[in-house]
Amino acid sequence: MRVLSILAILVAAVTAVPTNPQRIVGGSVTTIDQYPTIAALLYTNNWSTYWQACGGTILNNRSILTAAHCTHGDAVGRWRIRLGSTWANSGGVLHNINQNLVHGSYNSNTMDNDIAILRSASTFSFNNNVRAASIAGANYNVADNQAVWAAGWGTTASGASSGSEQLRHVQLVIMNQNNCANNYRIVGITITANMLCSGWPSGGRDQCQGDSGGPLYHNGIVIGVCSFGLGCGLVNFPGVNARVSRYTTWISSNS
């Protein structure tokens, strides 16, 4: 689910309703015990069958951090939370949602402030596979070229029609913000201070459709929420995340 359509703004964005479970580009399989703070978010378009459509991060025993473009405008019954499972559509524990809190300044055209919190109708039981994450504080800055990790169930290629059920992860690096902004400006996209670019200098590694809303980690700290990109894994067009350090107060006030 990684964001706007190329026709809409020349960006392969993560749509909130993919047709398949999807996965990370250029990564490898992993297991939930390595990422116990990640959540699979399941969507239904028929009020009967739910499938993994976005990712999220566990904030506490009731709240999940995700991307606004995943859940914006949706009734709470459209989504469920799966915790504690390596698999997108089986295992772990399912939770219903009773609140969908989208950031008040979210802009679906520019993708600025692409952040939201889902509140569960039931409390989460913590164990080795289910834990609350540590998130970046307001002064948490990560230098260019620092190693970061993304995890999720997204596609392994832009526009792929099928994906792995198993959780995947990939090592990325923080890309220079000015270079990222200049490259996206060419295709009419504005990279704001609320955004964080991550990818691989030679391309081939990225988050992709289906990873939307999922975490970007630096030394185990969640610094980004997967938002959008031009395709997936393209040289000069890294993935774009909502920069968590810009939302510390909002997150703590709403979780």
Active site residues: 69, 114, 212
Backbone angles phi, psi at 98, to 5 degrees: -120, -5
- Quick check: helix, strand or coil at residue 1? coil
| DSSP β-bridge partners for residue 147 | 173
Token representation of residue 207:
């988050």
Q: Which residues have C-beta within 8 Å of that of residue 179, sequence separation ≥ 6?
A: none
Residue type, 7: L
Cβ 94 vs Cβ 104: under 8 Å: no
d(CA 152, CA 210): 8
Residue with token string 């081939």: 204
d(CA 63, CA 101): 10
